[in-house]
Amino acid sequence: MLMSFAISSLKSRGKSLTLTFLSLLISVSVLLSVEHVRLQAQASFNRTVSDVDLIVGAPSGQLNLLLYSVFRMGSPTNSIDYASYTMLQNHPQVSWAIPISLGDSHKGYRVLGTTQAYFEHYKYGNKQPLTFAKGNPFSDTFGTVIGADVAKTLNYKIGDNIVIAHGMGAVSFHNHDESPFTITGILAPTGTPVDKTVHVSLAGIEAMHLPPAQLHALLEHPEEADAQLLKVDSVSAIMLGLTSKFATFTLQRELNNYPDDRLMAILPGVALTEMWQMMSSIENLLRFISLLIMLSSLFGLSTMLLASMQQREKEIAVLRIIGASGGTIFRLILTEALLLSAAASATALLLVFAVFTLTADWLASEYGMFISANVFNLHNLAVIGIILGATLICSLVPAIDAYRGAINQKL
């Protein structure tokens, strides 16, 4: 009965209720969005690469190396000799090595030159290997394997030919039209930047950059191609899996002091942590701003309830005279505040769910952020619990005011 009375009472205050509701809805939505993006981004970052012990690239700072080799963001400032890759391949402490060559794109998606080792050893999430949804790894120079999102967005299937463009832009004026690549495989979704990557062989990268005459000859008689023609000179980075984790620091030091090439080796976990720490100040600032917005909305709710007390003096008198205790009036005000806050929180949850459902693809393609739309989790429920707790505290002032007014109420 108290609940239906509270609902009816709230409904009777249409305009002020609507404005307070909207204010709460916006602030709870902002708070939930920030929290959700923070957790999802952290999970997304942490699941991007797994089981890689070292990433080797040209010296440029570990964040830059991590960003371009794992997240396909930014560009390699320099490359490393292919000889360094072969050295590492044969290194006794290295179990496997994945070369990465970057610099080209296809309709905005990064093209990554690599070897079969990529499909055998690259892992994401909790050491999950890459799997093929359709087809197989490329077996010749002009074969390509595309990520799940590339296939879905561009509606590609096995056997389709694609043209790779020079540079990273979505629109390029320099396309390698003469050397189309044939899709041989489509990877299963991973929720990582792999989904947005076009994978080709290192030889394919070299081939499409050949002078037109040599490229034409290669395309006409691939079996007669001179091995020197497709000789790889350099790669952008190398991912390493070691025979023993204990060798990680020794090999890192060794590579950082490698005399024959300028190399820098980083630990992905350490770089991810540094990257996250760098972002945490922005994250904390966002959370702080969200909390301030939330608090100001709750004070608005408190003010609305407090202002309504004067208008409700007569109503409270009626309730008192028909038997409502001061405690009942106190609980009524708290119930009204909690109802409003709970309704705003539930609506905010649905709103945030709808927004992330609609923008998931855009966030992934524009910012490389794989944000799940599933906001119905324990963390968000805990956040809503805290919001309801804060509502309770902020509503104590009008509730106490109503209680005092009620016990001093006269006919």
What is the nearest approach in angstroms of another protein to the Cβ of residue 357? 37
CB of 327 to another protein, least distance (A): 7
Which residues lie closer than 8 Å to 250 by C-beta, 6 or more apart?
A: 93
Nearer Cβ to another protein, position 9 or 79?
Answer: 9
Task: Pick between residue 290 and residue 409 the one whose CB is nearest to another protein.
Answer: 409
Nearer to another protein, 1 or 171 (CB): 1
3-state secondary structure of 110: strand
In the complex, the smallest distance separating the C-beta of residue 383 from another protein, rounded to whole angstroms, is 32
| Residue 75 structure tokens | 């560009």
Binding site for another protein (CB under 8 A): 1, 4-5, 8-9, 11-12, 314-315, 317-328, 407, 409-411
Nearer to another protein, 90 or 408 (CB): 408
Minimum distance between the CB of residue 283 and another protein, rounded to whole angstroms?
44
Residue 96 pairs in a beta bridge with: 241
SS (H, E, C) 21-79: HHHHHHHHHHHHHHHHHHHHHHHHHHHHCECCCEEEECCCCHHHHHHHHCCCCCCCCCC
Closest approach, Cβ 304 to another protein, in A, equals 16
Phi, psi values for residue 92, rounded to 5°:
-65, -25
C-beta neighbour count of 24 within 10 angstroms: 25
Q: What angle do CA 190, 195, 182 make, to 5 degrees?
A: 130
Nearer to another protein, 8 or 126 (CB): 8
Tell me which H or E stretch contains 308.
Answer: helix 268-311
Q: Find, among 400, 392, 405, 397, the residue nearest to 312 by Cα.
A: 405
**Residue 411 beta carbon to another protein: minimum distance, rounded to whole angstroms:** 5
Q: Which is nearer to another protein, 321 or 358 (CB)?
A: 321
